[in-house]
Amino acid sequence: MAKVARRKTDESLIARFNSATEQARLETLRKVNRTDPTYEDFAPLSYWRSAWADRKAQQRFIEKFLWIRDAFDSNNLVPFVLTDLQKALHFNRTGKDVVLKGRGAQSTRYWLAIKFSEAIIFSGRKLRIVPQEPDLEDELFDDLKVFYENLPDHLRCATKYYSKELIHFHDPEKGTVDSTITTLSIPPGYEAKGRGMTITDLIVTELPFWKCNAAKAMRSLLQSLRGGRIVSESTPGGLEFHHSIYMQGKRGEAGWKSHFFHWWWNRNYRIPGAYFIGEELVVEAGGEPTELSDRERKIAKVIYRHLRAKKILKKPGVWHCDQVAEYIAWRRFKIAEIGEEAFIVDYPENDKDCFEQSGRPLIAAQYLKVSCRTAEPKEGRQYLVAGDPSGGLDAGNPGAIQVVDITTGRQVFELLAKEKPEVFALKLCELSDSYNGAMIIVERNGLGLAVVGAVIRNGYEDRLSSN
């Protein structure tokens, strides 16, 4: 009985403390003029609902009340201050956004922050987060957990459920009811499962690397969205669904808005202390100056313009300044660590090379066009044989085969044919032999899988590149 009485006493003291804290907050709020910047430090959720149309107010809410663990600061808990990249997304997002970025861009954390904030502030938000794999679910939930558990008491809504699979905010006193956040990847075979859901906000990460049929899963999710807001963000991963909507956004089609970020948007990608002597780079104090390659020189000038545009360099100068040297030194270090081909994909410098080098080359119809006359194979040249198969039916569309000269990037052979998968595969193998043992690439679809199987049975598995 003594333990029960003590527990009741403890709970009573905590309740009294919380009540006193809330009364003090309300008293402070009454004394502070609404136009005073400090008013927002104590303002209830109702204030933020009324101010939310202003994106500067949204930024203030995130930077005042959300905390993160910063991987670039020993994983310490720090206030969430938007980076240059996150600010660009914040003020340019449209509600139907597709993002191409490099590793470490921290764009996902921004989307979590803005969508989490809206789920706390407004009723009836239905946020669905779809990462590429289950392991990432834990990381995303960790961010959400840090956001929620470090909110001040007057903003932290009560929850009905609080887990990795479902966070359900329901706090009539604060004015937020029935807002939910679900985090769940889509396994193979369950692509249509989300069709019956109601989603107001959708965050999709690393779509090219989903293990399920990504296009089918996305169509189901878009059916559930029904006029809601979506962001699909990814590092480069081949010419597939994410690439197709990114290109639509660049062309201003289907309502998509495309956002591309070079690796130098991340200010952490520098080696402090690097500098230029003239136009030669010195990576560390006392090191030997080395000339820049033509590529490095070009990138250095682009980085200089970026730093000027972001007012990181406030006065005009020369591109070969110390600030630029730190970025170029980091670039050299990273290329030495992972190789140039991997660097181009993981840390893109434009939105073309990164797709072509991604190692997931799926050939869409717009790329199967003749750009030169048929040419015989040349000794020492490397080629690709790319195929988009048909069903072999007279009433159907023909399949297409292209042979590409890797050196020039031009098509040197084209064939349109209505062939069964087995015959289509044989033609690919024969062309591979004719063109110096060319790699074989097959379009990913139902018929393509049958062609892949036939190519393997023909003994050409070592030349096959398919996804």
Residue 31 domain-assigned (yes or no): no
Domain residue limits at 294: 265-356
pLDDT at position 18:
54
- Looking at residue 369, its pLDDT comes to 45
Sort strands 399-405 and 383-388 into parallel, antiparallel or unpaired. Answer: antiparallel
3-state SS record for 92-104: HCCCEEEEECCCC
The answer on 63 and 195 residing in a single domain is: yes
CATH number of the domain enclosing 67: 3.40.50.300
Which of 217, 234, 261 corresponds to the end of one domain? 261
Mark out the alpha helices in 204-309 (DSSP H runs): 214-225, 241-251, 294-309
Residue 399's pLDDT band (boundaries 50, 70, 90)? Answer: confident
Eight-state DSSP code of residue 289 = P
> What is the maximum span of the chain, computed from C-alpha positions, in angstroms?
94
Distance CA 388, CA 449 (A): 11
Residues 275-284 as b or e (16 or more Cβ within 10 Å = b): bbeeeebbbe
Do 148 and 282 lie in one domain? The reply is no
- 30 within some domain: no
Q: Are 197 and 224 in contact (CB under 8 A)?
A: yes
Asked whether residue 395 falls in the same domain as residue 434, the answer is yes
Q: Kindly state whether residues 380 and 298 are assigned to the same domain.
A: no
CA–chain centroid gap for 212, Å, is: 18
Asked whether residue 1 is domain-assigned, the answer is no
- The Cα angle at residue 437 between residues 433 and 442, in degrees rounded to 5: 85
For residue 367, what pLDDT band results from cuts at 50, 70 and 90?
very low
Domain boundary (241, 261, 281) is at 261
The pLDDT value given to residue 242: 87
Same domain, 270 and 222: no
As a whole number, the mean pLDDT across the chain is 85
- What is the pLDDT, as a whole number, of residue 352? 83
DSSP state of 463: G
Radius of gyration of the chain from its Cα atoms, rounded to whole angstroms: 27
Continuous H helices in 270-396:
294-309, 322-338, 340-346, 353-356
DSSP assignment letter at 172: T
62-107 per-position pLDDT tens digit? 999 999 998 888 889 999 999 999 999 999 999 999 999 999 999 9
Q: Please tell me whether residues 113 and 142 are part of one structural domain.
A: yes
Domain assignment present for residue 7? The answer is no
pLDDT in the model for residue 360:
45
- State the average pLDDT over residues 162-185: 93
Indicate if 125 and 254 belong to the same structural domain.
Answer: yes
Give a three-class secondary structure readout of 13-55. Answer: HHHHHHHHHHHHHHHHHHHCCCCCCCHHHHCCHHHHHHHCCCH
* CA angle at 260 for the pair 54 and 198, rounded to the nearest 5°: 60
**CA–CA separation, 394 and 415 (whole Å):** 16
Residues 6+ apart with CB under 8 A from 245: 98, 232, 254, 256
pLDDT given for residue 396 in this prediction = 57
Query: Are 205 and 164 in the same domain?
Result: yes
Q: Is the pLDDT of residue 443 over 50?
A: yes
Looking at the fold, whether 158 and 285 belong to one and the same domain comes out as no
Point out the domain boundary residue: 261, 290, 307. 261
Residue 375, domain CATH? 3.30.420.240
Task: Give Cα 11 distance to the centre of its chain.
Answer: 45
Sign of CA pseudo-dihedral 152, 158, 161, 167: negative
Specify whether 335 is located in the same domain as 431. Answer: no
Asked whether the beta carbons of 157 and 120 are under 8 A apart, the reply is: yes
The reply to whether 41 falls in a domain is no
Are 189 and 302 in a shared domain? no
Q: Which of 187-196, 202-211, 248-257, 366-375 has the lowest mean pLDDT?
A: 366-375
Mean pLDDT of 37-41: 83
What is the arithmetic mean of pLDDT over 319-347? 94
Which residues are CB-neighbours of 195 under 8 A, at least 6 positions away? 220, 223, 224
Cα atoms in the 13 Å half-sphere on the side-chain side of 229: 12
Strands 275-277 vs 280-282: parallel, antiparallel or unpaired: antiparallel
Tell me whether residue 93 is in a domain: yes
Residues 6+ apart with CB under 8 A from 32: 38, 39, 42
Residue 29 has pLDDT above 70, yes or no: no
Q: Of 109, 106, 183, nearest to 146 (Cα)?
A: 109
| 286 pLDDT above the threshold of 70 | yes
d(CA 320, CA 280): 8
pLDDT band of 448, cuts 50, 70, 90:
confident
pLDDT at 397 over 80: no
Whether residues 431 and 286 share a domain: the answer is no
What does the pLDDT look like over 201-252, one tens digit per residue?
999 999 888 888 888 888 888 888 877 899 999 998 866 788 889 999 999 9
Closest CA to 132 of 224, 214, 215: 214
Has residue 13 been placed in a domain? Answer: no
Q: What is the pLDDT of residue 370?
A: 46
Residue 158 in this model has a pLDDT that exceeds 70: yes
Q: Is residue 22 part of a domain?
A: no
Number of domains the chain contains: 3
Helices 55-65 & 107-121 angle (0-180, nearest 10): 100
